[in-house]
Amino acid sequence: MKRDASLDVLRGLMLMVMTIDHFGGPIADITRQTIGFVSGAEGFVFLSGFISGIVYGEYARRDPGLMVQKAYKRASVIYSSHVALLVSVGLLFLANRIFAEYWTPLAPLFHDHAIKAFLLGIALLYQPRFLDILPMYVVFLLTVPFLIRQFKKGRAPIVLSVSALLWLSAQFHVRAYLLDGFAHDAGIYLGYFDIFAWQLLFVVGSWFGYRRTINSSASTGNDTAIIWSFFIVVVAFFLVKHGYVVIPGLDTVTAADRGTLAWLRLINFSAIVLFVGALTRKYNELFKNNWLAFLGQHSLQVFSYHIVILYLIMPVRWRIEDMGGLAEVAVCLAYVASLTLPAKMHQSYRRRIAVRNTLAEAQ
């Protein structure tokens, strides 16, 4: 399948933004939810769903059995990456007690009960801070064959309705009610992001991606109107987010809650998706950046690398702050530039595998 460079660029952009936001500092003051009540995580999850809809929708058209095989294989790769991250973080805890003091607020169970943390983490029942995205993807990928089958059967309205109901349940904190009373004692922690809420982004993204496989039209014919309409909406959210416009009675903290993907955040993100979608269709040349596209093509490896480096930076973060804003900017830029390393390593690995397979076939 031919890759859409604009999707790789957008995914690379989300990775870069998340890296900066997680590091913090002066640059993060610019990138962190600047255009409204939206972060890089929302875009990353939606794009993952969108690309899954395209890729596995195409597999389903060619060979439904292959679709299932590919989806489950990808889920196993993501799961393996999560376990590798979990083990890496756990070993960091055990290797240096002084550094572990800085990591304890991020993953307290490793400090108190390391073996229990490993076992629950492998079972996806313990997800320390920054290690709660990949487990969601594992679950999402396992549902992709079912989603694509339902889309093919014309049951998208039912699927989307159920997804919306799950999102609604998250607004009433159903997950917390289900786990309350035993999760804390058992050491179970399912991460900051409520999967009941965030699945909506992946499911809707998958639906849009699947629609693209059956309707390859590059334009809706009204892209200019869509761009200007939703540009105005996005600007309005920007003004509300930064206090230039105050809506009486609106509690933006609750209405834009990130963990449960609350209604204000969801509407804000939807407006941005429609705006950017129309923009990519009409002005695709704007979404060409070889470096960002390169990161997007190796997103799993880049994401995993940025988490490990983030944990390593945490214990010395205060020293960087003491050196001043320029030092923070310099380290942040170096951190972002280093994202090229895992992408290059994965590219080289894939090339070696391709050469090995070619030689095996020749023999």
- What would the pLDDT profile of 172-188 be if each residue is shown by its tens digit? 999 888 886 677 778 88
User: What percentage of the chain has pLDDT greater than the value 90?
Assistant: 60
pLDDT for 100 beyond 80: no
What pLDDT, on the 0 to 100 scale, is given for residue 221? 59
Mean pLDDT of 126-147: 93
The amino acid present at 145, given as its one-letter code, is P
Average confidence (pLDDT) over 209-217 = 82
The pLDDT assigned to 220 comes to 53
Nearest to 288 by CA among 19, 3, 6, 1: 6
DSSP 3-state of 189: strand
Residue recorded with tokens 């600047």: 34
Report pLDDT digits (tens) over 297-330: 999 999 999 999 998 898 888 889 999 999 999 9
Model confidence over 50-69: pLDDT tens digits? 999 999 999 999 998 999 99
Return d(Cα 362, Cα 172) in angstroms, integer: 59
Q: Is the pLDDT of residue 134 over 80?
A: yes
- Give the mean model confidence (pLDDT) for residues 110-121: 87
CA dihedral 154, 158, 162, 165 (to 10 degrees): 130
Kindly report which listed range (51-60, 112-121, 339-348) carries the lowest average pLDDT score: 112-121
Closest CA to 38 of 209, 271, 200, 203: 271
Average pLDDT rounded to a whole number, residues 45-54: 95
Look at residue 288 in the predicted model and tell me its pLDDT. 87
- Asked if residue 332 has pLDDT above 70, the reply is yes
Highest mean pLDDT among 196-200, 226-230, 354-358: 196-200
Q: Residue 288: helix, strand or coil by DSSP?
A: coil
**Residue 244 burial by CB count (10 A; 0-12/13-18/19+): exposed, middle or buried?**
exposed
**What single DSSP character describes residue 126?**
B
DSSP designation for 287: G
Residue 285 binned pLDDT confidence (cut-offs 50, 70, 90): confident
Q: Say whether 315 sits in a helix, a strand or coil.
A: helix
Give SS3 for 277: helix
Scanning the chain, the segments in alpha helix (DSSP H) are 5-23, 26-31, 40-62, 64-95, 97-103, 108-112, 114-122, 133-152, 156-171, 174-179, 183-186, 195-214, 223-241, 252-255, 263-282, 290-297, 299-313, 317-322, 325-337, 340-362
Q: Report whether pLDDT(217) > 60.
A: no
The confidence score (pLDDT) of residue 179 equals: 80
Q: Provide the whole-model pTM.
A: 0.92
Quick check: 243 pLDDT over 60? yes
**CA separation for the pair 163, 133 (Å, rounded):** 19
Please work out, in degrees rounded to the nearest 5, the angle formed at the alpha carbon of residue 79 by the alpha carbons of 74 and 82.
130
